[in-house]
Structure 1
Amino acid sequence: MGFYFNLLSFINPKKLKKDGFLLFCNPFARKVLPHQLEFLQKGMSDVLDLEGYKIQTYKWGSGSKKILLVHGWSSHSFRWKNYIEHLIKNDFTVYALDAPAHGLSSGKSIHVVLYAKVINAFLKINSEISSIVSHSIGGFATTYFLDQYKEHTIEKVVIMGAPGEASDFFDFYKETLGLTTKSLNLIIDEFQTQLGKVPSYFSSAKFAESILIPALIVHDKNDLATNYNYSIRLNKHWKNSQLILTEGLGHDLKSKDLIKNVTDFVKN
């Protein structure tokens, strides 16, 4: 693929821009398996229409506290199963949504600006939601949302295993695919055209400087998908935040103790 992109940079730069940007935003998302769908259908299902996208949403429970769960890259709402079951027992009404190109939502690509727009649209409809728990790229999008959409109702947020810099994604693709500087710059040009900003603008630490609500930031030291130093930096820039560094949980960050810690944070 790298050879193909590098060749396109000479013979068809316009196509390289389009294909390269789509690859950057393609989550290659997993299908919803039958046992996962069985659990998801236990919740109230609805579809949010937004700019041509069909966004699958869910609701479980009827507790007095309202919370939104925001999943990560190549995932969907089922990843929150254990959280959902625990939160319901702790007087929460739990909402979740599948990002564009994930789960049962439509679309073929996703990026932080679009994900944040989806979060904002959903919260406008469900303004009683007062906290968000997010994972991976969902955490990056949530941080961006909190910085960009000031008139939100969120009072507490949890950011788990999130990346921190969009620029690092391009470094990863350049190294992995063997892209030339010319190829990479053409893709970055398309990124700027589509999102309205250069990659370096998308920095969670910079976004955090404007956010005042309390945050719990969680990362595992053995995370092979996103470096835990992102969360250390985020914690330093987010004035009203606390940091939990786990060991042995990897990127998924699934454990009963952590579920309890997250629940206690958003509940109190």
Structure 2
Amino acid sequence: MNFKKIMQKSMGFYFNFLSFVNPKKLKKDGFELFCNPFARKVKPHQLEFLQKGISDVLDLEGYQIQTYKWGSGSKHILLVHGWASHSFRWKNYIEHLIKNDFTVYALDAPAHGLSSGKSIHVVLYAKVINAFLELHSEIKSIVSHSIGGFATTYFLDQYKEHTIEKVVIMGAPGEASDFFDFYKETLGLTTKSLNLIIDEFYSQLGKLPSYFSSAKFAESIMVPALIVHDKNDLATNYYYSIRLNKHWKNSELILTEGLGHDLKSKELVKQVTEFVLN
């Protein structure tokens, strides 16, 4: 057993122990672990690129959200990154979109990049997206990746007064319940421990994990969507994008091979840009 697995099992043992001696602390610590992205720090070469854009900070409910703007084209687009990532992941998109008459915006989610905070969940991420778009109603398109895609789908379902006309969802998970299944298996949590953490989830978000299903959210969305997923994605199963495509009335699906979860290729950048333009 490697060191990482030993740490995971030790964490699980600790949580299972807490479920008997201090359930209240288990709820708090378990929920915080669930929402902690353990995000990577922004590296110097990444910061150098990001600083080429116009930097600004959005204050929202105690969070300082780092935002960026590049270019001055007539079309406006927002890029929404995924779990444990930040705005630099869009470098190739930013450079290509600027050449195609776009003004490009990006933001770092709470607890990611240069934004403040220690945790993130779909409800908070959607709230950030909505707050930013309220300030920038000229934005008509969103390109999103991973948990950012899940949050974008939730945003479009929950916030009806938006100005978005095109959306791209890339490599997105489909069910919040899956994250709990993953933690239960990885950490070796007992059913009692898991249920206590789910109780805290409900207390914090007002809904059970089963409520957060991208396919259910998609049924109310009329915005045209391009859904992209790789068949070799080890982080999120491409089955979810097939299902999302079936439930999202006005959507088309691209299944790639060999790009993994990152979904980075020059060809895909062109396909995404063409979809947003047409």
TM-score (norm 2): 0.96
SS in 2 for 1:227: coil
CA distance in 2, matches of 1:148, 1:173: 27
> What is the aligned length?
268
CA distance in 2, matches of 1:254, 1:66: 22
Two-structure CA RMSD over aligned residues (Å): 0.2
Q: CA deviation at 1:157?
A: 0.1
Q: CA deviation at 1:115?
A: 0.1
Give per-residue Cα distances to partners, 1:193-234, cap 9 Å, x unaligned.
001100000000000000001000000000000000000000
CA distance in 1, matches of 2:243, 2:31: 27
Q: CA deviation at 1:9?
A: 0.1
Give per-residue Cα distances to partners, 1:76-129, cap 9 Å, x unaligned.
000000000000000000000000000000000000000000000000000000
SS in 1 for 2:270: helix
CA distance in 2, matches of 1:267, 1:3: 52
Give per-residue Cα distances to partners, 1:173-211, cap 9 Å, x unaligned.
000000000000000000000011000000000000000
Q: CA deviation at 1:239?
A: 0.3
Q: CA deviation at 1:67?
A: 0.1
CA distance in 1, matches of 2:234, 2:90: 20
Q: CA deviation at 1:152?
A: 0.1
Give the match for residue 263 of structure 1: 273
Give per-residue Cα distances to partners, 1:1-22, cap 9 Å, x unaligned.
0000000000000000000000
Identity %: 91
Give per-residue Cα distances to partners, 1:45-104, cap 9 Å, x unaligned.
000000000000000000000000000000000000000000000000000000000000
SS in 2 for 1:224: coil
CA distance in 2, matches of 1:245, 1:48: 35
CA distance in 1, matches of 2:173, 2:203: 22
Give the match for residue 242 of structure 2: 232
CA distance in 1, matches of 2:137, 2:78: 11
CA distance in 2, matches of 1:219, 1:229: 9
Q: How does 1:105-184 map to 2 (within 5 A)?
A: 105-184=115-194
Q: CA deviation at 1:38?
A: 0.2
Q: CA deviation at 1:250?
A: 0.1
Structure 2 unaligned regions, length at least 5: 1-10
SS in 2 for 1:16: helix
CA distance in 2, matches of 1:98, 1:196: 25
CA distance in 2, matches of 1:30, 1:54: 18
SS in 2 for 1:175: helix
Q: CA deviation at 1:43?
A: 0.1
Structure 1 unaligned regions, length at least 5: none
CA distance in 1, matches of 2:277, 2:15: 49
The runs of at least 4 consecutive aligned structure 1 residues that moved more than 3 Å come to none
CA distance in 1, matches of 2:132, 2:185: 37
Q: Choose the corresponding residue for 1:244, options 236, 254, 258.
A: 254
CA distance in 2, matches of 1:231, 1:12: 40
CA distance in 1, matches of 2:128, 2:194: 28
SS in 2 for 1:62: coil
CA distance in 2, matches of 1:193, 1:157: 31
TM-score (norm 1): 1.00
The reply to whether residue 40 of structure 1 matches residue 50 of structure 2 is yes
